[in-house]
Structure 1
Amino acid sequence: MGRITARRPVVKITLGVGETRRPDTLAVEEPLEIRIAGTPLVVTMRTPGHDVELAAGFLVSEGVISAGEHFRSAIHCGGPGTGGPLAGTTENTYNVLDVSLAPGVALPSADLARNFYTTSSCGLCGKASIEAVETVSAYDVAADGTVVDAEALVGFPDLLRAQQAVFDKTGGLHAAALFDAETGELLVLREDVGRHNAVDKVVGWAVLNDRLPLRSTVLQVSGRASFELVQKAVMAGIPMLAAVSAPSSLAVELAEASGLTLVGFLRGRSMNVYSRADRIRVPAHVTV
C-alpha cells in the first residue's frame, strides 16, 4: 500500500540563519474502520500497514477473541465512502477492513461498539460505558512464572529503538516490541502513530501466528505506560510490560490487581518496578 510515510513541503526557520524550503517526511495517519461480518465496530486513527494484525489485536484487547483459531480471515473493502481525502470515489483506500470470525465464535455485543472514532493518543475515547473497560482476561497473568534478567531487560529499549525504521525517517511514531523473556530475542516490532495501535499490531501478530497466550514474554513500549496498554498486555497473557517513560496511577493499580510486572522509566542502567518485582532477576552483587 506504500502509505506509511508522506512527503510535504516545509519552511524551516533557524534564528540567526534564516529560512529554507525543503520537503519533509511525515508519518501517515488515516482512519481504519473495522467491521465484523459486515457490521461496523470501530474506527481508529492509525498508520497504514499490518491492518489485519491491528484488527486481530484489537479484538483480543476487547475480549472478543482469545486464540488464533477464533480469527478466520479479513479483507480490505473498497468503493465509495471508504475514507480518506478522496472519499466518494471508487478508489480502494484500504481504510475499511471486514473481519470474519471462526464458526461458533460469538459476534461482539452491540454495547462494545464505540460511539465515535478513537484518536491516535487515546484508545479509550468514546467507550459506550466505563464498564466496558473492565474486560476479564482469559489468561491468568499472575500465575506466570516468568523471570527476566535485569541485565537483559535494560537492553530492550536500545534494541527496540534500533529497529524503528519509520521513526528514523519521521520522528513521529510510537513502537512496541515483544521479547522472549528467557533468550532476550526480539520476536516482533511494530510502529504506529498511536501507541495502543502499535501494541494491538504486536498482539495481532501473535494471533495470526497462533501464539496466544504470550507467556514468558516482555512487552516493551517506546513511551509511557497507560491503563489501556496494561489491559492489552493482560488480555494477551503477557506477564511483563516495560516502558521508557512513566506509568499512570491507574496503570499501576491494574498491574497490581492482575499480577503483571510493570516497569517504568527503563533508561540506561536503571528502572522503576511498580508491581511484581520478583520477576526481575538482579545480579547478586547489586544491593536492592
Structure 2
Amino acid sequence: MTELTNSRSERVRSVRSLAGRSARSRTNRFLVEGPQGVREAVAFVPARIRDVYVSAAADARYDEITGSARALDLRVHRVSDEVLAAMSPDAQGILAVVEQSATTAGTGSTEHLLLEQLRTAPRLVAVLSNVRDPGNAGTVIRAADAAGADLVVLAGESVDIYNPKVVRSTAGSLFHLPVLTGITVSALVGALQANGLLVLAADGSGDLDLDDLLDVAGPDGRRAAGTPDLAGATAWVFGNEAWGLRADERALADAVVRVPLRGKAESLNLATAATVCLYASARAQR
C-alpha cells in the first residue's frame, strides 16, 4: 500500500482546514478523530464517509476498524505519522472525513425535519439552548444516547455540532441518534408541546424537585393535580453554561425542575445536570 508522506500537500491542507467552521460549511464535511469516533462512523454511517486516514501502527492496532472500512469499499489511506499530525493533532492514529447529516443547520428545512422526527413519537428528547461549550454539548449528546433518548436538538445560538471537540466528546454517539440544529427555542417548544410532549426546563430555581417527581412517576404515583409525570413522553431543556435558561425560556416550559443538591456544592455543571435529568426520565419511563 502506498503511504502518503507529504505533510505539505494540498490534501493535507484540505483535511486540516476542516477544523475551522468556514471550511466545514463550504464543503459540508467534518473531521472524526480517533478510533472510537471512526469505529462508530464506519458502523453506523458508512455511506457518509469520504476518506479514512490511518498510520501504519494504527492500521495494525485497529484492524477491525480499517478492515470493516475496506470491506465496505471505503477509501482507506495509509499515511505517515507526520502527515497525520499535520492533519490533526488529536487523530490518535486514525481519522475520517465525513459528510454532514441532512438534519443539521444550513439545510433550510430544520422545522420540516423536526416534524418528521416528532412523527416517530419520541419518548425522550434533550434540548440544548444557547449552549456554547463544545465539551458540554458533546457530553450531553453522549449522555442522551446512553439514556435512550430519541432526539437531541441544539437550539438558538448553540455551538456547531461539527466542531472537532464536540465530535470527540460524543464518543461516536453523534452517529447513533438524530441531532437537529438551526431552530429557535420558542418554535421548538411549541412543536414539542403540540405533539404531546411534556416540556421540562432544568434550572436551579425550579419550584419542583427532581427526586420528588421521580417518587410519584408512573400510573401508580400519587401525584398532586398538575404535577408532571416523568413517565410520560418528555423533553428536557437545558440552558447556557454561564447563565442557564432565560426567564422567557423558562416560561415556555410546562414546569421548571431543579436537581436536588444534598451536599455543599453550589451547583452542577451542565453536562452532569443533564445526565441526571435524562436518566431520571429514562428510569421513570421503564
Q: Same fold (TM over 0.5)?
A: no
Point out the structure with the larger helix share: 2
Higher normalized strand content (fraction of residues): 1
> With structure 1 as the length reference, what TM-score do the two structures score?
0.29
- What is the TM-score when the length of structure 2 is the normalising length? 0.30
Larger Rg: 2
